[in-house]
Amino acid sequence: MNFTFQGKRISGILGILPVKEHSFLEDMRNFNFPESRSRKLMEVMGYDKHRLVEPGVCVSDLAVAGLQYLFDRGQLGRDDFDALILVTQSPDHFMPPTSNIIQGRLNLKHDLLCMDINQGCAGFVVGLIQAFLLLEQADVRKVVLINADVMSRKTSSKDRNSYPLIGDAAAITVIERDVVDTRIQANLKMDGTRNEALMIPAGGFRMPSTPATAVLEDAGDNNLRAKDHLRMDGSAVFNFVQVEVPPLIESLLAFSGVTMDSVDYFLCHQPNRFMLQKLADKLKVPYAKMPMNVVEHFGNSSGVTIPLVTAFNLGSRLTQERYRVCFAGFGVGLTWSSMLMPLGGLGFCEIIDYP
């Protein structure tokens, strides 16, 4: 499915990272694998450090801290936005929507559309598409998109497939109308037949959490995880990304009439360094144009990684300069989506620590 939008822009990006840093070398002690094998994997995947929340910290805590930071500095007015979209897989509660909790905690105006979207690694692009659609309405002048996840709370520390790459984080992206009638193009695909490739089996209504679902089990691969934990079929996800994402990006560029060379940066979801190197090789994109350093510094925080890779690598340059960027997100669902747009002249583009 293709999308075309006009006269919209991103006007600010703020990343929020838990201050507590964990290291792969410490994590390694929990894994049921010889140290030498884990060290080899560390080199290939780029595992090193990752940021995780303290027990009890929720998505709304990160989001509220980030919004308050912007309010305090006058970078965003409390009444300036008319929609608040939260993209998360780790809501504070099943109900109410966490976006409403954020609204309430900050005592934001009632004339505000609050919306939770259950999406993961493609959640930044999906959130942008939703924000652009809302901005077609006359009464919606500005949209706040929050991507946030605390998936470490649902990941077994004895699961070497998932735990070393997981990171917790939030990002706030402000989207508004643009006086310049620039064209933004996007595409998106979903395949629910592969929904089990990334899943938390228990905890919903299909399989409620019980003492039995909390018991750690060996899945036959020396990793210990419970049904309450994130389960990732690494081979299936890897194959999905390599098969589906290159043609997605190529098709977007063809649809937009833009060549690969004329894109300044490919700002992709950050699963691990190896997967991104293979993606860049396939697309014949120089590594310098596709930053892949988020997992090694902060971990993979699902839908937050695209704004994080943007702020971490381009940061304040985006307040002065302007680039043609291609965002690409891929993950749970399965969902894969890309977007081509100009990015620059931002009011802010930075990362802060929480708390």
Binding interface with another protein (CB under 8 A):
37, 40-41, 43-45, 160-161, 221, 234-235, 238-239, 241-243, 274-275, 277-279, 281-282
Q: Give the nearer residue to another protein in terms of CB position, either 282 or 324.
A: 282
Give the residue from 47, 12, 125 showing the smallest Cα distance to 300. Answer: 47
Under DSSP, the state recorded for 235 is H
Task: Give the whole-angstrom CA distance, residue 326 versus residue 341.
Answer: 7
Min CB(278)–another protein separation in Å: 4
3-state helix, strand, coil in the chain (%, to 5): 35, 30, 35
Q: Which is nearer to another protein, 80 or 281 (CB)?
A: 281
CB nearer another protein, residue 255 or residue 274: 274
Q: Sign of the CA dihedral 194, 86, 270, 267?
A: positive
Give the span between the Cα atoms of 251 and 247, in whole angstroms: 6
Q: Are 183 and 2 in contact (CB under 8 A)?
A: no
Which is nearest to 112 in space by CA: 102, 123, 122?
A: 102
Q: How far is the CB of 57 from another protein (least distance, A)?
A: 29
Least Å distance, CB 294 to another protein, is: 18
CB of 271 to another protein, least distance (A): 12
Minimum CB distance to another protein smaller for 214 or for 243: 243
Residue placing its CB nearer to another protein in the complex, 277 or 313: 277
Smallest gap from residue 249 Cβ to another protein (A): 13
Minimum Å distance from CB 131 to another protein?
31
What is the closest distance, in whole angstroms, from the C-beta atom of residue 83 to another protein in the complex?
37
Nearest approach, Cβ of 45 to another protein (angstroms)?
7
Contact 119, 332 (CB under 8 A): yes
Q: Which is nearer to another protein, 203 or 234 (CB)?
A: 234
Q: Where are the alpha helices (DSSP H) in 284-323?
A: 294-297, 305-313, 317-320
- CA 1/CA 60 separation, integer angstroms: 32
Which of 4/239 has CB closer to another protein?
A: 239
Nearer to another protein, 235 or 259 (CB): 235
Going by C-alpha positions, the residue among 94, 82, 83, 88 that lies closest to residue 60 is 88
Least Cα distance to 94 among 253, 255, 206, 223 occurs for 206
Minimum CB separation of residue 91 from another protein in Å reads 30
Q: Considering the complex, state which of residue 182 and residue 242 has its C-beta at the smaller distance from another protein.
A: 242
DSSP 3-state assignment of 307?
helix
- Residue-by-residue DSSP string for 89-136: SS-S-SSS-HHHHHHHHTT--SS-EEEEE---TTHHHHHHHHHHHHTT
